[in-house]
Chains A and B, each alone.
Chain A
Amino acid sequence: MRPIRPRDGLVLLALVAYASPFFWQALTSMRPDAELLPLTRLLPSHLTWVHYDVVFRQSLMPRALVNSLGIALLSTLLAVGLGALAAYALARLPVRGRGVILLAMIAATAFPQIATVSPLYLLMRALGLRDTWLALILANGSFALPLVIWLLTGFIREIPRALEEAAAVDGADRLATLRWVVLPLAAPGMASAALLAFLFSWNEFLFAYSFTASEASRTVPVALALFPGVFEVPWGDIAAASLLASLPPILIVVGFQRYLVRGLLAGALRE
């Protein structure tokens, strides 16, 4: 038998450290109320679905899930749609001041949300957009846009020019090349960027907390943070709601791990 090396121990420790909070939260979501506080036994005497029932029937989570899904999808559409076009222009077309623009994109990814939230709040208020989907779509989409442009510029640059030149020889103009050659080839990169933008919007809390007031536009993180309790904090219900809130990230990580990692790597390695 192979001797256990220190590095195996570290991996095991890391696995335990990263798996146990999930398991514990899942367990909590199925633990009967009476056994939540105080905690006297590790495993519950029996599993119960009552917390999920409360979350679905009595809480604002179902509506919040719809809000979050819609806002995330639309802001991703905004960011990737505008970002892909801009990235092609920056990667392939003559743009005066391209270096400055790209530098500005990088700088924009470092903007702290807490600094822009007050002017954005006033802006949304002036446009009458408080407590609407549009406010968050615009805020999230614009916040993800610099990163998307930066990523996609890099991805498009990686596409061999020969393919575009071949298309030009065949008589295609720039737009047609963009539509039929570049975008399909950049699709995996766009998928990565889209996944990152979607995750950002799904997880976003500060803007959502500041711009929403009611269930009309409240997103999942805000609903979770403001989860109501009558007298005490309902930890079991919160655990159930947390797991529901984690579903899209879980699906993305399990289903699209490769694209996600690619996006992360591209973002850091391009420095």
Chain B
Amino acid sequence: MAPRPARAAAAGVSLPLLLWLVWALLAGGCGERPVAGAPITLVFKHAKILGPADPVPGLLRRFEADHPGVRVQSEALTWSSDEQHQFYVINLEGGSPPFDVMMLDVIWVPEFARAGWILDLTPSVAPAERDAHFPSAIEPAMQDGRLWALPWFMNVGLLYYRADLLAKYGFRPPETYDELIEQVRRIRAGERDPTLDGYLWQGKQYEGGMVNVLEALWANGARLLDDAGRPFPEAERAREALAFLRGLIESGVSPPWVTAGDEELTRRPFGDGRAIFLRGWPYALDLFELPDSRVRGKVGVAPIPRLRHGPVGAASTGGAHLAVSARTRHAALAVELARFLTSETAQRAMTEGAALRPSRPALYRDAGLIARDPSLPALHGLMLRGHPRPITPYYLMLSTTLQPEFSAVLVGRKSPERAMQDAGAQVQHLLRSVTP
């Protein structure tokens, strides 16, 4: 029998606790209720913009000034791309999502379009407005001939190199990977610095790793899928490309930890001057040119080299797009907001304020912007040469299915042939599920 004082105490604690819990449950469960007569509020969901200044609040205030009675509330997404995707899926699937305009990774647009979660923007965007963006930015946003999202900022893969080291040994930036390997060998022999790595790239098992593998395939003239969705149509070239990547690690041109390396883990050693080459996105250049950077003024930018059978500069494009939720209650206004944020004025403000590159070719020839960032003309050429990852609603499914197979090749657990065979079987199973 429990002693009486304990029981009384238990009752004294449990009752208020129960009341508090019920209140918390109700408060936590209910969302905000719209107040009648209040200004129209649009919710804009996006990832936090890094850089010296965040240009987004200023742009939103300008939009509000142009549209009296409208308030734009900006909400931040979590950091990781996977989390953002899961957040969107959970909120968009079968529910009324509490946001109107959302920032999407370009690879999600066909998926969200097919799922019916975003609005068809074709009627609201004139062809001229569409053509003002890079084709490789508009293409991935199209599905079944309709436009579903507008490009906000753009990325392309590129080769960073230590201009000072290459100049010292009389090298030009390499056009083929054979040249790159040779240059690494000669420079390291000459520098005799055991901490100097050769070529850093992202080989971790995540979307970034997939990008690196795709770029290697394209550099050898191989594709991941053909038009009918069959995997590795140019099998021998694909095998060569995969063997090449593994070879970089086995021969020591790349340190073994690149198989766990993502953008930041590889950017830092290069930024500390401990590597000769780095494959990365444009944002890193701004960080290399910071006043306290050890490689300030020593970094050059070049197109991704080619392997035997492919073109130079076969880089992957990336970036973020803005889409409008299909369940928004203010469709016209939300589309306006999306068009405003992707307009030339807005993209110019973003290029000036943050380490982001625009998706409009015109801005790459803008004198004012070039004065601040002389790499823009070079980037323009790279953007034109790059192309998007496979444009299919099932891209994310494909990528997450194939990543472990490619990762197994990179760490040496599977031969390229075996991995391709297994990957092929997985892709076929996947496509069987999605095509009736």
Which A residues are within 8 Å of any B CB, using their own CB? 66-67, 70, 73-74, 125, 128, 130-134, 184-185, 187-188, 213-214, 216-217, 226, 228-232
Contacts and interface: CB of A to CB of B under 8 A. Distances in A.
A181 to B, nearest CB: 9
Contacts of A213: 86-87, 90-91
A226 B21 contact: no
Contact of A66 (B17, B24, B79, B87): B24
B78 A134 contact: no
Contact of B28 (A73, A133, A184, A230): A133
B90 A70 contact: no
Nearest to B24: A70
B226 interface: no
Contacts of B80: 226, 228
A226 B87 contact: no
A187 B95 contact: no
Given A184-B1, A184-B2, A216-B28, A229 B21 contact: no
Contact of B21 (A73, A187, A188, A216): A73
A229 B83 CA distance: 13
Contacts, number: 50
Given A133-B28, A217-B28, A228 B78 contact: yes
Q: Identify the 6 closest CB pairs spanning chains A and B, nearest first.
A: A213-B90, A187-B2, A231-B264, A228-B79, A213-B87, A70-B24
B228 interface: no
Given A66-B24, A134-B25, 18 more contacts: A70-B21, A70-B24, A73-B21, A125-B94, A131-B91, A132-B29, A133-B28, A185-B1, A187-B1, A213-B90, A213-B91, A214-B91, A216-B28, A217-B28, A228-B79, A230-B79, A231-B264, A232-B264
Contacts of B2: 184, 187-188
B164 to A, nearest CB: 25
A134 B50 CA distance: 36
Nearest to A232: B264
25 contacts: A66-B24, A70-B21, A70-B25, A73-B17, A73-B21, A74-B21, A74-B25, A125-B93, A130-B95, A131-B91, A132-B28, A133-B28, A134-B25, A184-B1, A184-B2, A185-B1, A213-B86, A214-B87, A214-B91, A217-B28, A226-B80, A228-B78, A228-B80, A231-B264, A232-B264
Contacts of B21: 70, 73-74
Contacts of B79: 228-230
Interface in B46-97: 50, 78-80, 83, 86-87, 90-91, 93-95
A233 B21 CA distance: 34
A67 B83 CA distance: 19
Given A73-B17, A226-B83, A134 B29 contact: yes
Interface in B394-419: none
Interface string B346-380: 00000000000000000000000000000000000
Indicate the member of A133, A184, A188, A232 with the most B CB atoms within 10 Å. A133
B285 to A, nearest CB: 16
Given A73-B17, A226-B78, A232-B264, A133 B94 contact: no
Interface in B7-56: 17, 21, 24-25, 28-29, 50
Contacts of B1: 184-185, 187
Contacts of B264: 231-232
Contacts of B24: 66, 70
Contacts of A134: 25, 29
A246 to B, nearest CB: 21
Contact of A128 (B50, B78, B86, B95): B95
B278 to A, nearest CB: 16
B33 to A, nearest CB: 16
Interface in B228-266: 264
A67 B91 CA distance: 19
B408 to A, nearest CB: 23
A230 B2 CA distance: 52
A66 B25 CA distance: 11
A133 B25 contact: yes
A131 B90 contact: yes
A230 B80 CA distance: 10
Nearest to A211: B90
B87 to A, nearest CB: 5
Contacts of A132: 28-29
B254 to A, nearest CB: 21
Contacts of B78: 226, 228
A68 B50 CA distance: 32
B257 to A, nearest CB: 14
Contacts of A125: 93-94
B7 to A, nearest CB: 8
Contacts of B25: 70, 74, 133-134
B261 to A, nearest CB: 13
Contacts of A217: 28
B84 to A, nearest CB: 11
A260 B431 CA distance: 50
Contacts of A185: 1
Contacts of B94: 125, 128
A213 B93 CA distance: 12
A267 to B, nearest CB: 22
Contacts of B50: 230
Interface in B79-138: 79-80, 83, 86-87, 90-91, 93-95
Contacts of B28: 67, 70, 132-133, 216-217
A229 B78 CA distance: 10
B284 to A, nearest CB: 11
Nearest to A228: B79
A67 B95 CA distance: 22
